[in-house]
Structure 1
């Protein structure tokens, strides 16, 4: 527990100033986080990080993180989507010359991971670009849901939410986490004055809170499939970047889909 607390304090001392400053700092943070997260997927799949397929996957992920900012001016024939497709083609070509070490299934996993992680962290940057309040709102929902689910689950948890994927999670904890997030998100929305009514923001908060828990379960399912406890070891006591940002990687796309930024 002591190690978890120390890691959390150090991480927040670094993370909070970055999101406050925004600009180039949030872009660098997004690129670093995405690169590490993709590396964690590669390591779970036991793919060497200096292999051609690993390099293609990491570069492709970083491209997606900044594609919207750096490649808006490309021609219609040579747009960001097409460039990403070239990364997929590169993986397929690598498959041919890998002597069956890289399979079509592997290419599919790496492509999906690039999309999931790359677009997720690109929206992390986009949310900060919409304003500090927007990113804080999303972060508060994720953090409050996580903390609320833990507290309510410890006190009242009896019915397992998804025993085959995450045995410690309960329906009571899940509902409690969403209630806590709704209260915090509602108060935050009332104070910040979003361009939507308070009722709509409360409904949005509930949707995002549930989405965050689904994001957590998605990453838990990934870890269970590969037989690992944590996605990585970069954060002592907390695991890897995917372990800490799993909820956010689903909450941000849903928030974007709902038109928040």
Structure 2
């Protein structure tokens, strides 16, 4: 527990100023997080991160975090670059067919896209403004904390016994209710939405989406039979362990029209 607390304090001491400053600082941070996050996919798959495919995937993850303006004037835009990446993965299934198959290519393509775009929308949320960014942070953190506390105290019915046996329906509902309450208090001081009904519905949806993101990453770890996605954060695991909910929530914030 002591290690977890120290790591959390140090991480926040670094992360919060970066979020506050925004601009190039958060773009660099998002790129670094995506690079490490994609590398964790290969670590879980027990593939060497110095393998050419791994290096290419990590660089693609970084490219996906970059703003669209970065690609102006280049012969390939972001979509074209990702399509070229897909083609390279498919070609690799031909020339490395003994060690790299179509399932490997599929996992790497999906996870690279999911991680890269997730951190891209972290930057996009900050560009829209700190109120929207901190809305997402509060929503996810509150859901996580109270899902744990309520689940530990009152949890009896497993949310998903196979993927994450310690999470419960009671905790999930408790976390979502707490997120709504905290967001309404936040909205009273930092107005995001005048229509409280829309804000409540959006918060419930995003709280659930964040929990699904957590379960999706747990499913990935369960598939590869690992406890954590990495070890870069002592006591907390890897980057994907800490950002799993955010990688779902930030893109959905965009899809819901927040920015």
TM-score by shorter chain over 0.5:
yes
Offset, 1:99: 4.8
**Cα offsets for 1:170-215 (capped at 9, x unmatched):** 0110000001100011121232222552221111111111111000
Quote the Cα distance in structure 1 between the aligned partners of 2:72 and 2:142.
Answer: 35
1:223 aligns to what SS in structure 2?
A: helix
Offset, 1:89: 1.2
Q: 1:104 to 1:191 in 2, by over 3 A?
A: same
Match of 2:100 among 102, 108, 111: 102
Quote the Cα distance in structure 1 between the aligned partners of 2:38 and 2:134.
Answer: 24
The list of structure 1 runs, each at least 4 consecutive aligned residues, that deviate by more than 6 angstroms after superposition, is none
The answer as to whether partners of 1:56 and 1:90 remain within 8 angstroms in 2 is no
1:114 aligns to what SS in structure 2?
A: helix
Q: 1:11 to 1:102 in 2, by over 3 A?
A: same
- 1:112 aligned partner: 110
Quick check: 247-256 or 194-203, which moved more?
194-203
Quote the Cα distance in structure 1 between the aligned partners of 2:194 and 2:56.
Answer: 41
What does 1:1-261 align with in structure 2 at a 5 Å threshold? 1-72=1-72, 78-261=76-259
1:161 aligns to what SS in structure 2?
A: strand
TM superposition score normalised by structure 2:
0.96
Quote the Cα distance in structure 2 between the aligned partners of 1:15 and 1:193.
Answer: 24
Quote the Cα distance in structure 1 between the aligned partners of 2:196 and 2:100.
Answer: 51
Offset, 1:74: 5.2
Aligned length: 259
Structure 1 alignment gaps of length 5 or more: none
Offset, 1:94: 2.4
Quote the Cα distance in structure 2 between the aligned partners of 1:123 and 1:55.
Answer: 23
The answer as to whether partners of 1:34 and 1:117 remain within 8 angstroms in 2 is yes
The answer as to whether partners of 1:67 and 1:80 remain within 8 angstroms in 2 is no
Quote the Cα distance in structure 1 between the aligned partners of 2:141 and 2:21.
Answer: 20
Quote the Cα distance in structure 2 between the aligned partners of 1:64 and 1:176.
Answer: 35
1:169 aligns to what SS in structure 2?
A: strand
The answer as to whether partners of 1:56 and 1:91 remain within 8 angstroms in 2 is no
TM superposition score normalised by structure 1:
0.96
Offset, 1:250: 0.5
The answer as to whether partners of 2:132 and 2:192 remain within 8 angstroms in 1 is no
Offset, 1:62: 1.0
Q: 1:195 to 1:69 in 2, by over 3 A?
A: farther
Quote the Cα distance in structure 1 between the aligned partners of 2:232 and 2:104.
Answer: 24
Offset, 1:251: 0.7
Offset, 1:140: 0.5
